[in-house]
Chains A and B, each alone.
Chain A
Amino acid sequence: MRDRIKPIVRDLTPDVEILVLENQLRHFYEKIADLLDQDQIEQFPGYFLDDCMYQVVSRENYSENLPQATIYCDGVAMVRDRVIALRETQVYVPRVWRHFISGTRVTAIEGDEIHARANFLITEATSDNDPTLFLVGMYLDVLVRDGDGFKFKQRLAVFDNHHISRSLIAPV
Chain B
Amino acid sequence: MQQAVNIAAAEDRHWPEEGWTRVPYWVYSDPDIYQRELDTFFYGPSWNYVALACEVPEQGSYKRSWIGERQVVVVRGEDDQIFVWENRCAHRGARVCWKNKGKEESFTCPYHQWNFALDGSLQGVPLKRGVLRKGGMPSDFDNSAHGLRRLHVHVEGSSIWASFHDNPPPFEEYCGEEVMAGLRRQFPGKRLRLLGYNRQRVASNWKLYFENLKDPYHATLLHSFLITFGLWRADTQSESIPVDSGHSIMVSRNVGKKKTEAASEIKRFKEELELFDKDTVTPRNEFDDGKVVAITHFPSVVIHQQANTFGMRHVIPKGPDSFELAWTFFGYEDDDEEMTRLRVRHANLYGPAGFVAMEDGEVLSESQLGTHHYEHRAAVVEMGGRDVERQDHMVTEVLIRAFYKHYRELMGL
Contacts and interface: CB of A to CB of B under 8 A. Distances in A.
Interface of A: 1, 56, 58, 60-61, 64, 66-72, 74-78, 80-81, 84-85, 88-93, 162-169
B4 interface: no
B352 A72 contact: no
A92 B200 CA distance: 16
A42 B351 CA distance: 23
Given A1-B340, A68-B329, A80-B276, A91 B359 contact: yes
Given A163-B201, A169-B353, 6 more contacts: A67-B195, A68-B195, A71-B353, A81-B275, A90-B355, A167-B352
Contacts of B355: 85, 89-90
A74 B345 contact: yes
Interface stretch (B21-29, B79-87, B176-184, B361-369): B361-369
A131 B224 CA distance: 29
11 contacts: A58-B198, A60-B199, A67-B195, A70-B352, A76-B276, A77-B275, A84-B276, A163-B201, A164-B199, A167-B200, A167-B361
Contacts of A66: 194-197
Given A85-B225, A89-B268, A165 B353 contact: no
B344 A68 contact: yes
B277 interface: yes
Interface residues of B, number: 43
Nearest to A70: B353
B353 to A, nearest CB: 4
Contacts of B345: 72, 74, 78
Interface of B: 100-101, 194-203, 222, 224-225, 228, 268, 270, 273, 275-277, 280, 324, 329, 337, 340-341, 344-345, 347-348, 351-353, 355, 358-359, 361-363, 365-366
Pick the 9 closest A-B CB pairs, nearest first: A68-B196, A77-B276, A89-B224, A66-B196, A164-B352, A168-B353, A167-B361, A77-B277, A1-B341
A144 B15 CA distance: 64
A92 B363 CA distance: 8
B276 A78 contact: yes
A92 B358 contact: yes
B86 to A, nearest CB: 21
B347 A72 contact: yes
Contacts of A90: 224, 355, 358-359
Contacts of B197: 58, 60-61, 66, 68
Nearest to A68: B196
Nearest to B357: A167
Contacts of B268: 89
Contacts of B352: 70, 164, 166-168
A73 to B, nearest CB: 8
B284 to A, nearest CB: 14
A84 B199 contact: no
Given A1-B341, A69-B196, A165 B277 contact: no
B347 A60 contact: no
Contacts of B196: 61, 64, 66-69
A152 to B, nearest CB: 17
Nearest to A2: B341
B100 to A, nearest CB: 7
Contacts of B340: 1, 67
Nearest to A79: B276
A67 B344 contact: yes
Contact of A91 (B100, B276, B277, B362): B362
B408 to A, nearest CB: 30
Nearest to B227: A89
Given A71-B353, A93-B366, A167-B352, A60 B100 contact: yes
A93 B362 contact: yes
A72 B348 contact: yes
Nearest to A163: B201
Contacts of B225: 85, 89
A81 B276 contact: yes
Nearest to A126: B365
Of listed B195, B200, B202, residue having the most chain A CB within 10 A: B200
A1 B353 contact: no
A162 B199 contact: yes
A75 B224 contact: no
